[in-house]
Amino acid sequence: MIRVGVIGYGYWGPNLVRNFSELRDAQVTAVADRRPERLAQVQRRYPGVRVMTEAADLIADPAVDAVVVATPVALHFELANAALHAGKHVLVEKPMASNSDEASRLIDEAERRRLVLMVDHTFIYTGAVQKIRELVGTGELGDLYYYDSVRINLGLFQHDVDVLWDLAVHDLSIMDFVLPQQPVAVSATGLAHVPGKPKNIAYMTMFFDGPMIAHVHASWLAPVKVRRTLLGGSRRMIVFDDLETSEKIKVYDSGISVDPSPENVYQMLVGYRTGDMWAPKLAVSEALAVEAAHFVDCVTNNARPQSDGEAGLRVVRLLEAASASMQNHGRPVDIQGVTAG
Amino acid sequence: MIRVGVIGYGYWGPNLVRNFSELRDAQVTAVADRRPERLAQVQRRYPGVRVMTEAADLIADPAVDAVVVATPVALHFELANAALHAGKHVLVEKPMASNSDEASRLIDEAERRRLVLMVDHTFIYTGAVQKIRELVGTGELGDLYYYDSVRINLGLFQHDVDVLWDLAVHDLSIMDFVLPQQPVAVSATGLAHVPGKPKNIAYMTMFFDGPMIAHVHASWLAPVKVRRTLLGGSRRMIVFDDLETSEKIKVYDSGISVDPSPENVYQMLVGYRTGDMWAPKLAVSEALAVEAAHFVDCVTNNARPQSDGEAGLRVVRLLEAASASMQNHGRPVDIQGVTAG
Amino acid sequence: MIRVGVIGYGYWGPNLVRNFSELRDAQVTAVADRRPERLAQVQRRYPGVRVMTEAADLIADPAVDAVVVATPVALHFELANAALHAGKHVLVEKPMASNSDEASRLIDEAERRRLVLMVDHTFIYTGAVQKIRELVGTGELGDLYYYDSVRINLGLFQHDVDVLWDLAVHDLSIMDFVLPQQPVAVSATGLAHVPGKPKNIAYMTMFFDGPMIAHVHASWLAPVKVRRTLLGGSRRMIVFDDLETSEKIKVYDSGISVDPSPENVYQMLVGYRTGDMWAPKLAVSEALAVEAAHFVDCVTNNARPQSDGEAGLRVVRLLEAASASMQNHGRPVDIQGVTAG
Amino acid sequence: MIRVGVIGYGYWGPNLVRNFSELRDAQVTAVADRRPERLAQVQRRYPGVRVMTEAADLIADPAVDAVVVATPVALHFELANAALHAGKHVLVEKPMASNSDEASRLIDEAERRRLVLMVDHTFIYTGAVQKIRELVGTGELGDLYYYDSVRINLGLFQHDVDVLWDLAVHDLSIMDFVLPQQPVAVSATGLAHVPGKPKNIAYMTMFFDGPMIAHVHASWLAPVKVRRTLLGGSRRMIVFDDLETSEKIKVYDSGISVDPSPENVYQMLVGYRTGDMWAPKLAVSEALAVEAAHFVDCVTNNARPQSDGEAGLRVVRLLEAASASMQNHGRPVDIQGVTAG
């Protein structure tokens, strides 16, 4: 039985507590939050859970085996680091840390102490993204041509991070999970409509070695909610619409075929294929339930999580590069640590 | 009665001939195309129209008052220039020319000879775009925050121009028509999946003086067709979906309100408004019919067209800048000739 | 503080318990269900609530002021009747009873004892249906022409009631709430695809005095989920799509205008109007929360609920008539107790 | 070369003339219409076609081998009959005639004279309906459970026929083509909102021998256009949405499985299957082009058309029964000439 402590009971914390509570092999023993009214709510719903205002008390609690950090990003490193030092396994919200240096230090600390360090890349535990990874992995799509995502809505303007760190982080974690390659450079643009606040609309292009490109459009200022990803391959293409209730993934048997040696140079070199469309049945489990079970399983068996610290670091490196590029109106920035394949 | 000659009877030419034929104050007297089988089709449908393989013959024809140039882009300048020199009024397909120098020279030539020079920016003659211009012009939207367009489908890979010059040109002409400001710089990224061919997927960010940003995503390699534009303002926001049959424009009474002097700096500075949505009834005339009548009217009354040479030049300048930026993976490029307002 | 006891903790019971628990002026003191594992779940979530397997014990409990009956339909009368006899106020699931005789007896019993009797017509407490009632009531739609609803999906085949009693009951309760008139006759058709089981697909037409017609299509055997209602008037028409997240109600400024005295009998007598569409902002409160508060308010102030016993009875009468008509392949059946206006 | 004469150049006539004109093995030699302005339009578009105001002249014309009757329904019998008597092959608009007696007499006349008699059931020549017939025929759907169609929009109020004869006729012709069984009885309801005019909203249920049911909802008075058909089988179900541009047919691997011998009678007898969805690629030819070629082929080879007179008669019999049932508010009416299988 893994005893879990959760720091932060704001927007996402309740979902974490609920999902860990429903696991057979785990129990939530403590919740910390600075706001007494949030703790009162915990007590009404979960009379058996101990509550505290100081995260340090939770981290020091011997009745806690694993710590979940669900605070604003700026506190991720400090709290996760303290928890690791106290010998606790850690599940930290995305993005993993405020910068890649912090992320690296957490990885090192976890490795040194042989503790599980996992990042809450929730989407990779959905049936939809698992299916996309499977389709990419088995070669169903052929060579990958592009990844394009739109993640916009009229949403909360965050105070501490910009819209890429808030929304595009989902896309970057999905890409990290399903694509066989890492981006080698980034060009990003964006704007803050409220002076002095983080950018609330942003566009981010990622370049790869080879004929592949990726792009994310993220915004807190759209009148409609869109969650749509296109993944194009030489054999098939996927449309992943997360707002669809029953057909989130559609696979199109469409594409182009290039004739490498046309007799007549004036001929069209590119041919089109359109064919059937297919929407595979997806697993319908709640992603966070799958993820919580996976974390508990990794802790129990000392295994490496699918969304480990390295995955978290790779995502943070992309966000860092995007921020740097945005400051320069799209000037491309190379990704550190990625070597051309 | 204005006598019209059309050069180029490929994809768009038949639409031009049909629409000019149905006008009361115009008649199509000649069509030129290098392909005899295209000319045969003209003759079957319009027995009274003279056909010829040489554009020069059409331009020299005294029974032609105005020349419509509907050829590949590379020929626009040469043919339009020759027609102007021959004293003919000119309607030229978009984009107006292969570069801004050619576009400027056509403008100068038309002015010198007091001839009408119009660019076929078809979209600005649709009921939808006219309504958007009206909503922007009357201040319904408040301050403009962003313009975002997605124009993708599985489409013909052009040989001579990239996907921005082929598809984004529509968005640039719409922006030129509805926005009160011109972009001052561009950052664009893109990729050619067929080696040696023009880029078939591209992303283009435009910067303005002030807190406004624009972005276009254009692609010939998408499994689904999308024609969707978002136009966000401080008071209202528009979704323009050109694939909708009856509700192309939706106006959302949504937005943010910024409190300039919060008592408590920790308070949320940005408030949200969501309200009614409204889909105005639109004029349903065929855009090209409206445009053809406008051209004939300008020729008859020696008036300046809504999509004049200057508009065509501004669009070409943006495309030039985008091409330059794409060569450098998004490095921003300033727009020549735009002075900060 | 109204003390509420809930009988039946199956599909809907948990929602009832949760919503009554969150009210300030009410508390859930007891839950009864025959299944011990359901009661165990109650205890885990609500340690302070007493649980029991016998409904009679709950009804006899002096610490219960009001009883909510959330059992299969066949038990509604017996349990609601017993609760009224014990002096408890009653909220009973829809449909109110198995037949109109039982429904009438509950109404009489509640009146005799001056107790509140309310039927859980949940939909009338939604922002969408409240808005429709408002639009009808203010005359926005003009004369009402038709009400048409499709309520289908791949759903649980009920054992005790057919698909009209399970799904169409929602539409009948909405119609009862928003329309100024009652149906005077019914013609219904349907089929049971599983021999010996209740009909799982059904169509129900309702006739009115005057030029108004209503129709409901209900099915447990559709591959897609549809929840769409059209309400047509002489001035405007409504589309109510309950699966839309943000624009559930669209009001179309469309209709027909009839020229009563055309000069030429060959002229078209009917003209068309199409105009703007408008999607009003709706209240977003959970319907069951509004309804629970309304019940508690009626109990506290001895007021008549919006969905009182009479409304429940009218709906049951329509269902009875539909069942009779279905047995005879659509033969029309008059509604008892409705006098032509 | 089959020489075709077309009677009636109103809404549909121009489509017929255009499609027959484009066939290699046919030419349109004559068009008749009472309205001179319609004939003038024919002459502008097709200078080689002879025009006349009298249908009798066209029928008597020796330069006409086959007559297409595209007039109001009331004239179908008279004109088709006259054409057959004159030895011409006939293609007649749907519905074939005003009643089943007229339809039968046309069949007899055509058989006696060994002439082709075809009814313009256009939909059966679409790629979508051809695909549905294939899926039904190969047993992909399993046992058929229901056919449900909604065909509504804000449409022209016809003067001579009601909305079932105008719109539902499409569904009846599709059902006739794809279903292995004929309906044995009909129950229909409807209403005329304009006094003294044909019914403009109608609902029609069809019963079959065995556990199959069909229903059509037709209306000229809906604010939105809907063209959606559900076809449910024991193994798979189809959604056919004719307004979809690229995925008109979706096949759902969903359904129910019935356990015939449950150990426990209280157990759920019906199990659910949900699975993949699949949208097959469809032929994209214009239906009327396919149909015109088929008619010419039948005339040339003296073959029996897919939509022959018997198909036309079966559809008219259903419409007759529906009209009779509507007069009696849904009272079921048996179909003449159908014997229970």
* Measured distance CA(C245)–CA(B20) in Å, rounded: 45
Nearest one of D51, D48, D40, D41 to D21, comparing CA atoms: D48
In sequence order, the 6+-apart residues with CB closer than 8 A to the CB of D9 are D17, D31, D32, D33, D35, D38, D39, D41, D42, D70
Chain D residue with minimum CA distance to B225: D246
How far away is chain D from the Cα of C187, in angstroms, using its nearest Cα?
A: 6
Residue B288 in tokens: 């090209």
Count of CB atoms situated within 10 Å of the CB of C70? 25
State the pLDDT at residue B266.
42
Asked whether the CA dihedral B220, B222, B227, B231 is positive or negative, the reply is: negative
Confidence band of C268 (pLDDT split at 50, 70, 90): very low
Cross-chain residue pair A222–B203, CB shorter than 8 Å: no
The answer to whether C35 faces chain D, any CB pair under 8 Å, is no
Asked whether the beta carbons of B48 and B73 are under 8 A apart, the reply is: no
C-beta of residue B172 within 8 angstroms of C-beta of residue B199? no
Geometric angle at alpha carbon C188, from C186 and C189, rounded to 5°: 170
Residue given tokens 């339909």 in the structure block: C73
Give Dmax over CA atoms of chain B in angstroms.
78
Give yes or no for residue C297 having a pLDDT over 90: yes
Instruction: Tell me how long chain C is.
Output: 341
The residue of C22, C245, C247, C284 whose CB has the most chain A CBs within 10 angstroms, and thus the best one to mutate to test that interface, is C245
Q: How far is the alpha carbon of B234 from chain C, nearest alpha carbon, in Å?
A: 19
Spatial CA neighbour of A201 closest among D106, B207, B328: B207
* pLDDT value of residue C2: 97
Tell me the chain B residues in contact with residue A331 when contact means C-beta distances shorter than 8 Å: 187, 330-332
D192 has a chain C CB within 8 A of its CB:
yes
Q: How many CB pairs under 8 A join B and C?
A: 25
Distance from CA of B72 to the nearest CA of A (A): 14
- CA dihedral defined by B122, B126, B131, B137, rounded to 10 degrees? 20
Segment C200-217 shows an average pLDDT of 97
Measure Cα distances from D9 to B302, D72, D120 in Å. 41, 11, 15
**Taking a C-beta distance cutoff of 8 angstroms, is the pair D146, D214 a contact?**
yes
Strand order of the β-sheet with D66-69 is D50-52, D26-32, D2-7, D66-69, D89-93, D117-120
Q: Does C253 touch chain B (CB under 8 A)?
A: yes
Two tokens at B40? 């045969």
For each successive 10 residues of chain B (341 residues), what is the average pLDDT?
96 94 92 95 85 98 97 97 98 97 98 98 97 97 96 88 97 98 97 92 97 97 96 96 94 79 49 86 92 98 97 98 98 78 38
Contact D217, D233 (CB under 8 A): no
Q: Which of B43, B242, B246, B284 to mutate to test the interface with D (most CBs of D within 10 A)?
A: B246
Residues of C in contact with D260 (CB under 8 A): none
Q: Is A253 on the interface with D (CB under 8 A)?
A: yes
Kind of pairing, strands C89-93 and C66-69?
parallel
If one counts every other C-beta atom within 10 angstroms of the C-beta of residue A216, the result is: 26
**pLDDT for the residue C225:** 95
The set of chains that have 3 or more CB pairs under 8 A with D is A, B, C
Q: At what angle do helices B287-301 and B13-21 cross, to 10 degrees?
A: 60
The alpha-carbon radius of gyration of chain D (Å, integer) is: 21
pLDDT at position A341: 39
pLDDT at C259: 61
The answer to whether D271 faces chain A, any CB pair under 8 Å, is no
Buried b (16+ CB within 10 A) or exposed e, C204-216: bbbbbeeebbbbb
Distance CA B176, CA A143 (A): 38
- Looking at the DSSP assignment, which residues form a beta bridge with residue A269? none
pLDDT tens-digit readout, C157-192: 888 899 999 999 999 999 999 999 999 999 999 999
Computed over every residue of chain C, the mean pLDDT equals 93
Q: Both ends of chain A: CA-CA distance in Å?
A: 43
User: CB–CB of C252 and D201 under 8 A?
Assistant: no
What parts of chain D have a pLDDT lower than 50?
A: 262-268, 340-341
Highest mean pLDDT among A263-272, C75-84, C245-254: C75-84
- The better pLDDT of the pair C124, D262 is held by C124
ipTM of the complex: 0.94
User: Strands, DSSP E only, in A155-220?
Assistant: 185-191, 201-207, 213-219
Q: Are B40 and B102 in contact (CB under 8 A)?
A: no
Q: Is the minimum CB–CB distance between C134 and chain B shorter than 8 Å? A: no
Q: Which residues pair with B239 in a beta bridge?
A: B230, B250
Do residues A316 and A96 make contact, with C-beta atoms less than 8 angstroms apart? yes
Judged against a pLDDT cut of 50, whether residue C340 lies above it is answered with: no
In one-letter notation, the amino acid at residue C275 is G
DSSP alpha helices (H): ranges in chain A? Answer: 13-21, 36-45, 55-60, 76-85, 100-113, 127-137, 163, 169-178, 287-301, 309-327
Nearest C-alpha neighbor of A28 from the set A11, A37, A15, A10: A15
Among the partner-chain residues D215, D238, D274, the one whose CB lies closest to the CB of C154 is D274
Q: Which residue of A has its CA nearest to C247?
A: A224
CB distance from D324 to chain C under 8 Å? no
Amino acid (1-letter code) at residue B287: A
Closest residue of C to A44, CA-based? Answer: C46
Tell me which chain B residues have a C-beta less than 8 angstroms from the C-beta of D246: 224-225
- Quick check: B201 and B221 in contact, CB under 8 A? yes
In this prediction, residue A265 has a pLDDT band, given cuts at 50, 70 and 90, of very low
Instruction: Please give the structure tokens belonging to residue D290.
Output: 């396919």
Q: Please give, one letter per residue, the 3-state secondary structure of C74-126.
A: HHHHHHHHHHHHCCCEEEEECCCCCCHHHHHHHHHHHHHHCCCEEEECHHHHC
- According to DSSP, residue D122 is labeled G
Say if C273 is an interface residue toward chain B (CB within 8 Å).
Answer: no
Determine whether the interchain pair A279/D274 forms a contact, defined as Cβ–Cβ distance below 8 Å: no
B-chain CB neighbours of D225 within 8 Å are 245-246
Q: Do A253 and D281 touch (CB under 8 A)?
A: yes
Q: Residue B121: which of B335, B259, B270, B306 has the closest Cα?
A: B306
Q: Is C265 on the interface with A (CB under 8 A)?
A: no
Quickly state the pLDDT bin for A340 (edges 50, 70, 90): very low
| Interface touch D274/A280, C-beta < 8 Å | no
Which string of DSSP letters, residue by residue, matches D125-182? GSHHHHHHHHHHHTTTT-SEEEEEEEEEEE----SSS-HIIIIIHHHHHHHHHH-SS-
Which candidate from B277, B280, B281 shows the least CB-CB separation from C279?
B277
Query: Which residue of D243, D246, D281, D284 is the best one to mutate when testing the B interface, meaning the one whose CB has the most B CBs within 10 A?
Result: D246
Q: Which of B47, B243, B246 comes nearest D47 by C-beta?
A: B47
Q: Could you read off the pLDDT of D208-240 as tens digits, one per residue?
A: 999 999 999 999 999 999 999 999 999 999 999
> Which residue type, as a one-letter code, is found at position B308?
D
Q: Is the peptide bond before A95 cis (omega within 30 degrees of 0)?
A: yes
Q: Chain C within 8 Å of B241 (Cβ-Cβ)? A: no
Helix, strand, or coil (residue A242): coil
- Which residues contact residue C158 at a Cβ distance below 8 angstroms, ignoring those fewer than 6 apart? C165, C166, C198, C220
Instruction: Give me the amino acid identity at D111.
Output: E
Average pLDDT over residues A291-316: 98
Q: Output the pTM of the full model.
A: 0.93
Residues in chain B with CB shorter than 8 Å from the CB of C278 are 276-279
> Of C253, C277, C281, which is closest to B274 when you measure between CB atoms?
C281
Q: Considering only CA atoms, which of C73, C113, C116 is closest in space to residue C93? A: C73
